[in-house]
């Protein structure tokens, strides 16, 4: 049974990219990446991993940030078409990793859809996650992996949003859902250092006009000086390391 990771990437060389690829390579058969016009060594790093396949579209595409739907659709179509029937496509961001190897759940044929909760990490030594009214990913399950079945890629409808359009089509309807145990949740390192949070704040400000009222309110909390944090209650198999941590904290 084949498991492929699919990821949209942009300028990840100095963040968690190499660390994420090392972790994913331990449980994935293939890693499909779509590069969003990176200007750093993101693709050079990826070339060092034998399981990586660059599925970036031909010329003519503009930056995905603010025009996300067509990039997500391209990645989705490519991943589905290049995964064997019965295999699983696992969508991850370049700064995410599961707490533990999910293959034991993917290998059962009882489910076509797999949902995970997600911890937004805020500190990494030790691991602390954020929890308040706007940061509740660890209490909710979202679809992050689906099994490839006949006709899956046909008649898809996407949200059309320029940001937060989702990894899979809005029209996707699961038949049998596996709610992954909390101990197999996803760890999200996207806010785990001051540099990450500064970057995220700036990026969301650049597309503020595309955000819903809730999304704008959520983004406005990124630089809160006193966030509510709790220690991660699990020992993960993999921990991602930020390449420029020494410079950030030095």
Q: Report pLDDT for 62.
A: 78
CA torsion 206-210-215-217 (nearest 10°) is 60
Q: Give residue-wise pLDDT tens across range 106-164.
A: 999 999 999 999 999 999 999 999 999 999 999 999 999 999 998 787 668 999 999 99
Q: What is the pLDDT of residue 234?
A: 97
Does domain 3-249 fall into CATH 1.10.8? no
CA 21 to chain centroid: 12
Enumerate the domain spans of the chain: 3-249
Question: What is residue 247's predicted lDDT score, i.e. its pLDDT?
Answer: 32
Residue 154, number of CB atoms within 10 A of its CB: 7
Q: Which residues of the chain are modeled with pLDDT < 70?
A: 60, 154-155, 245-250
Token pair of 197 as six digits: 């949070």
Mean pLDDT of all residues belonging to the chain: 93
């Amino acid at each position: 049974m084949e498991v492929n990771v699919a990821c949209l990437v942009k300028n990840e060389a100095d963040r968690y990219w190499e660390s994420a690829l090392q972790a994913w390579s331990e449980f994935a058969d293939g890693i499909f990446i779509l590069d969003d016009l990176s200007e750093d060594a993101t693709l050079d790093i990826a070339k060092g991993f034998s399981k990586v396949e660059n599925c970036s579209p031909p010329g003519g595409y503009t930056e995905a940030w603010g025009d996300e739907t067509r990039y997500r659709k391209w990645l989705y179509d490519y991943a589905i078409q290049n995964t064997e029937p019965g295999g699983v496509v696992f969508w991850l961001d370049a700064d995410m990793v599961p707490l533990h190897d999910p293959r034991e759940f993917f290998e059962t044929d009882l489910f076509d859809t797999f949902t995970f909760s997600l911890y937004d990490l805020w500190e990494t030594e030790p691991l602390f996650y954020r929890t308040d009214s706007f940061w509740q990913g660890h209490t909710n399950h979202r679809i992050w992996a689906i099994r490839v079945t006949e006709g899956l890629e046909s008649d898809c409808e996407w949200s059309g949003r320029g940001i937060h359009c989702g990894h899979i089509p809005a029209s996707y309807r699961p038949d049998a859902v596996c709610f992954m145990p909390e101990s197999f949740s996803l760890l999200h390192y996207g806010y785990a250092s001051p540099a990450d949070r500064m970057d995220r704040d700036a990026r969301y400000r650049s597309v503020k006009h595309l955000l819903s009222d809730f999304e704008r309110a959520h983004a406005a909390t990124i630089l809160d000086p006193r966030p509510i944090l709790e220690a991660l209650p699990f020992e993960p198999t993999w921990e991602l390391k930020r390449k420029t941590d020494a410079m950030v904290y030095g």
